[in-house]
Amino acid sequence: MNPFLEISPSVKAALSNGQPVVALESTIISHGMPYPQNLETALQVEQAVRENGAVPATIAIIGGKLKAGLAEAEIEFLGKTGLAVTKASRRDIPFLLNNGKPGATTVAATMIIAEMTGIRIFATGGIGGVHRGASETMDISADLQELARTSVAVVCAGAKSILDIGLTLEYLETHGVPVIGYQTNDFPAFYTRKSGYAVDYCLNSPSEIAKVLNAKWLAGLKGGALIANPIPEVHEPEVVSVQAATEVAIAEAGRMGIRGNEITPYLLGKIKELTGGESLRANIELVLNNARLAARLAVEMAK
Ligand code: PSU
Ligand code: MN
């Protein structure tokens, strides 16, 4: 048993009874959305997982422990403390285990802790990817390497156009990560249902996705899979305003010399400001939509 892993009672009970569990990340809470919407959304997402038949396991690092399943007070702490919580990816984990400071786990770190816990399905908003201009900056999210090595399926709404979506998909292909479109042939771009880039495979139901994931892992193929679930049409924001805001935000980040792991939260905040909150509303809806699909998929996997 991993001495750092602390599984909540409800998650532990579900796993030992073979019931479906869905992992949820916490960078989106502390760094991805402002308070109080971050807290409200985190609780609504857990509820959406429950309503669709699975047990939620929000993941974070607290008090020197890798926590799978948080109490409401812990989620509230992550939401209120916001940017003062360390954004924790794979490289940060050992430091937080030693210094006891809180960490909000990225997709990469959440996948690691989910796998340790025995959780195979994980819902988030958008994944990190290859940033635009990466041929110069080499800024490629650790999320992509994690998808290559860690056996957890991540349900997301695609990747934001703050990234180079074409290069992100190339990178995933190189590393053998299957990209599955849920009822779509077009890889979604987070706020928008289409990016113009094709997914590898389109599957139309949670049971078909579950069969493919089971085949992959039963055959001994390690590593993750990406399930791309487009934002519902009714919640898609006006495309032009989001695209314009994205371009302005990227230019501003460049001028201000923002680098490393601060870029993604900076761009998210700036786009929200420039779209008058429209991007935040869309963000909340797409995360809920992903939580519902992930729960239905976890139910199929548990059969
Ligand atoms: N993309 C989003 N919203 C997010 C993130 C990415 O649209 O909240 C967060 C996720 O936690 C993801 C992390 O794992 O940012 C990626 O950060 P970086 O690009 O520094 O690897
Ligand atoms: Mn980065």
DSSP codes joined into one string, 60-110? EEETTEEEES--HHHHHHHHHHGGGSEEE-GGGHHHHHHH---EEE-HHHH
pLDDT at 240: 78
**Ligand at shortest distance from the CA of 111:** 1
Pocket test of ligand 1: the residue of 83, 90, 110, 127 to mutate, having most ligand atoms within 8 Å of its CB, is 127
| Active-site choice (12, 25, 115, 300) | 25
- 207-265, pLDDT tens digit by residue? 999 999 999 999 999 999 999 999 999 999 887 788 899 999 999 999 999 999 999 89
Q: How far apart are CA 264 and CA 132, in angstroms?
A: 12
Residue 40 annotated as catalytic: no
Q: Please list the ranges in the chain whose pLDDT falls under 50.
A: none
Which protein residue has the closest C-alpha to ligand 1 atom 11? 106
- Ligand 1 geometric centre to CA of 247 (Å): 18
Query: Is-contact 283 125, C-beta < 8 A?
Result: yes
pLDDT at 72: 98
Q: How far apart are CA 215 and CA 110, in angstroms?
A: 23
pLDDT at 302: 96
**Ligand at shortest distance from the CA of 140:** 2
Does any ligand 1 atom lie closer than 6 A to the CB of residue 125? yes
- Ligand 2 geometric centre to CA of 137 (Å): 9
Report which of 79, 107, 81, 109 is spatially closest to residue 94, judged by C-alpha positions.
109
pLDDT at 161: 82
Q: Domains of the chain (ranges plus CATH)?
A: 5-302 (3.40.1790.10)
Task: Give the contacts of 95 (CB within 8 A, at least 6 positions apart).
Answer: none
Does any ligand 1 atom lie closer than 6 A to the CB of residue 191? no
The closest-lying atom of ligand 1 relative to the alpha carbon of residue 160 is 7
